[in-house]
Structure 1
């Protein structure tokens, strides 16, 4: 599956100066049948450029899950029996006990997708790694956008999606999906992220009195950053754990879902924050200032990281949106997920 960044909340402030674009997501939205085809038929995509129909949601029919019946185990699903519904069929196979998904939430899932008539599996994240995207915003196929709303974290949900709510009348020839195919997905909802999400790692020691201290709260509120008074700003990048997670190690090529806040070393004044925007930031690490690229690569998902970024790894001798020239910047960044 070709992953594309969501780019929903990318402040231009954090982007590198050249060749990076802006925070507008229109140039990197989820693929449609008119785009270059992806290597598999992932949930990313829209059926057509026309208005997406609003589904009537029914409880079935959906094929039986015959194997891998435990949560987050790769399922085996029977071939569809009889004629599938023309409506969106949604069945909660395992009821989770976590928070419910709302429009605008990012969800992290494992899933398996197959064709109703043949039981041919055209894509699965089981064994490859979880898939994360935003729900209810047109970044995934409409059957997901509408069928996953209200479902709870740690639920297993089965969807039978008619063509109009999947890949439309064009289908996806590369994946063997015809424009008349009803698609069956089993989706295990692993996690949900929104503007109130925090890293959940283990608190790390912050013993260097010459460095800023960052709050270790996990309540979704902006951590307090305290810059030591009178201390000389470091001339080299500092990247330290505040909360150390146990997720995957970030690579330079990864797309990240983050909460962050930035302040000036000299004054402690905040100049940007996802907490203030009320919206998470999702972007390719490779498009961000060098301090972020170098400081976040090698850190683990689920962590909060404190970065002290000298001018040469930020904006140098150029002023930028409230940041004076030659400023040292201090950031707290929660690495919530990989996209």
Structure 2
């Protein structure tokens, strides 16, 4: 089970660490104390944790005496007055995280300190307690979540249990939905030996890599359609459609378009050619990339990809969060 990262280097990993011991946990119901008034600034969770302070500022959390809670729960501290949060939303939050160990109960970090709100996808990858809790608050609301190790089947016998984690989420808003396809002006750019045909609309482009040209030794990235969105950052999670082929053979080894579902991944966790090639690309763009073996899979053959292959991808950048 992955441990929470120091401070808030990567919120999804912090949540994942907690989820290892919390998915399938009993979800605590909200109480009348927490939801009776939108002006209340304090409420006691079922666990006895107390949160004070105003939404929009770093909260103060007080822990009860004794051992940490062993059951996960959530509590609506402030219901909020804005739009509802729905399953499938990408909710923008300020959050503060504590390790509830019954000793120091140390704070692990807060986006109020880093001044960088985080985006969390409200989906099945979250612990059930958060999936439900987020849908009980609106924009401008505050949610307290206690994530305990109450799903022992998820833990390996040799792995020490995580401390119970306490999260306070202030809901800022939601990210706009990802695009369906690249949108913008065609540039006419291409890579010598590679052809990309744009059919328009939401249809997949056609990529051809059948060529006698020698593959470039360096990474080559060309913009086929120039998007107008924010530039993708190396630290973000991207939503993309793509097709991948082998240089010179026109052999296709993967296509999200054929699966009918865009791919979503942290840019920092894919091959270096993608990391270097997509960082800085505006959302809405379509790019074609030629990736040399040393920035791809090198001498290690993959399913459908021979060793030392130059990879060619056409990629639509549909969202960056």
Question: What TM bracket, shorter-length normalisation?
Answer: 0.5 to 0.7
Question: Structure 1 residues 315, 127: CA separation in 2 closer, same or farther (over 3 Å shift)?
Answer: closer
Does the CA-based 8 Å contact 1:212-1:227 persist in structure 2?
A: yes
Q: Structure 1, residues 135-193: CA drift from partner, whole Å, max 9, x if none? A: 23354x65532133498xxx7252443xxx33459xxxxxxxxx898946233112345
CA shift in 2, pair 1:149/1:309, >3 Å: same
- For 1:247, the equivalent position in structure 2 comes to 230
Which of 227, 232, 237 matches 2:208? 227
Is the contact made by 2:207 and 2:243 (CA closer than 8 Å) also made in structure 1?
no
> Please, which of 129, 132, 135 is the counterpart of residue 146 of structure 1?
132
Deviation, structure 1 residue 307: 0.8
When normalised by structure 2's length, the TM-score is 0.59
Distance 1:87 1:200, change over 3 A: same
- Match for 1:257 among 233, 238, 248? 238
Q: Which ranges in structure 1 are unaligned for 5 or more consecutive residues?
A: 1-26, 29-34, 67-73, 81-85, 116-121, 170-178
Partner of 2:21: 49
Moved over 6 A (4+): 77-80, 179-182
Kindly tell me: are residues 180 and 204 of structure 1, through their superposed partners in 2, closer, same or farther at Cα, counting changes over 3 Å? closer
- Of the candidates 189, 192, 203, which is equivalent to residue 174 of structure 2? 189
CA distance in 2, matches of 1:289, 1:182: 32
Shift of 1:299: 2.8
Residue 318 and residue 205 in structure 1: after superposition, are their counterparts in 2 closer, same or farther (change >3 A)? Answer: same
Q: 1:199 to 1:75 in 2, by over 3 A?
A: farther
Q: 1:114 to 1:129 in 2, by over 3 A?
A: closer
> What is the aligned partner in structure 2 of residue 20 from structure 1?
none
Matching residue within 272, 275, 278 for 1:293: 275
Residue-pair matches, total: 263
SS in structure 2 at match of 1:146: helix
Deviations 1:243-288 (A, max 9, x none): 434324534xx35323232123334343113342746331353x53
* Structure 2: gaps of 5 or more residues: 42-53, 61-72, 99-108, 150-163
Cα separation, partners in 2 of 1:330 and 1:65, compared to 1, 3 Å:
farther
Q: 1:184 to 1:62 in 2, by over 3 A?
A: farther
Find the counterpart in structure 1 of residue 115 from structure 2. 128
Matched, 1:93 2:76: no
Equivalent of 2:195 in 212, 220, 229: 212
| Matched residue, 1:166 | 146
| Structure exhibiting the larger radius of gyration computed from Cα positions | 2
- Measure, in 2, the Cα distance between the counterparts of 1:49 and 1:79: 25
Work out the CA distance in 2 between the residues paired with 1:281 and 1:184. Answer: 24
User: 8 Å contact 2:211–2:248 — kept in the other structure?
Assistant: no
Does 1:109 find its partner at 2:92? Answer: yes
- CA spacing shift, 1:110–1:54, aligned 2, 3 Å: closer
- Deviation of 1:112 after TM superposition, in Å, equals 5.4
Instruction: Give the C-alpha shift of residue 199 in structure 1.
Output: 5.6
* CA distance 1:268–1:101, change in 2 (3 Å): farther
Using the alignment, how far apart are the partners of 1:294 and 1:266 within structure 2?
22
Cα shift at 1:331: 0.9
Q: CA deviation at 1:297?
A: 3.3
Which residue is equivalent to 1:14? none
Q: Give the secondary-structure state (helix, strand or coil) at the position aligned to 1:321.
A: coil
CA contact (8 A) 2:94 2:169 kept: no
Whole-Å separation in 1 of the counterparts to 2:21 and 2:8: 20
Q: 1:329 aligns with which of 306, 311, 318?
A: 311
* Aligned residues: CA RMSD: 4.7
